[in-house]
């Protein structure tokens, strides 16, 4: 539920970057039918009447259990989105990323980077400096759990794309 007791909220719900709906205080649900299997990023973001922004991101996988396939959801567990950092050194943890293999007949195998690190390739991008870190099929823990230092204060961000083999 989106609610702010002492302010007005104005927000949007986006699926893979396309706005699917808008909301104000008191919204409780949205309906959406996913037509295709694959990975989807759902973002609910709002701003209150004092300019405070909030955002929640969920990654989901819609699986085709009839046809065999591979799926991956890249998830950054920390830092949380829109975190205010007092230090330019930031700890990153993407160990909650998951790969799923759907076998013929629908049986599922879930793979995580802790147990099968070389199954994943990690493509990190840090902005605004456009610093890129790539770990292709890397068994190294630092591919998904590491410390980074941002060289400037302000509006910094990190993006992650993961491939699953």
Q: Choose among 16, 21, 102: nearest CA to 59.
A: 16
Domains of the chain from N-terminus onward: 1-62 (2.60.40.10), 64-165 (no CATH)
Contacts of residues 16-22 at CB distance under 8 Å and 24 or more positions apart, as own/partner, are 16/40, 16/41, 17/41
What is the reported pTM? 0.75
Question: Burial code of 113-126, b = ≥16 C-beta within 10 A, e = fewer?
Answer: beeebebbbbebeb
Q: For position 75, what pLDDT does the model report?
A: 87
pLDDT digits (tens, 9 = 90+) for 40-77: 889 999 998 898 888 888 888 898 888 888 999 888 88
**What's residue 82's pLDDT?**
66
Distance CA 3, CA 137 (A): 43
Helical residues (DSSP H) of 3-72, grouped into ranges:
none
10-46, pLDDT tens digit by residue? 899 999 999 988 888 777 788 889 989 888 889 999 9
Give the per-residue pLDDT at 15.
94
Are the beta carbons of 91 and 78 closer than 8 angstroms? yes
Please state whether beta strands 120-127 and 98-102 pair in parallel, antiparallel, or not at all (unpaired): unpaired
């Amino acid at each position: 539920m989106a609610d702010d007791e002492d302010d007005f909220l104005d927000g949007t719900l986006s699926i893979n970057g396309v706005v699917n709906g808008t909301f104000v205080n008191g919204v409780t649900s949205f309906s959406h039918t996913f037509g295709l299997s694959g990975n989807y990023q759902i973002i609910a973001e709002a701003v209150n009447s004092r300019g405070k922004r909030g955002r929640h991101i969920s990654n989901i996988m819609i699986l085709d259990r009839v046809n065999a396939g591979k799926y991956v959801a890249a998830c950054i567990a920390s830092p949380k989105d829109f975190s205010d950092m007092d230090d330019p050194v930031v700890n990153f943890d993407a160990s909650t990323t998951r790969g799923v293999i759907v076998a013929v007949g629908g049986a599922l195998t879930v793979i995580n980077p802790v147990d099968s690190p070389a199954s994943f390739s990690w493509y990190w991008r840090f902005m605004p400096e456009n610093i890129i870190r790539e770990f292709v099929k890397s068994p190294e823990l630092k591919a998904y759990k590491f410390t980074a230092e941002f060289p400037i204060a302000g509006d910094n961000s990190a993006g992650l794309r993961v491939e699953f083999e």
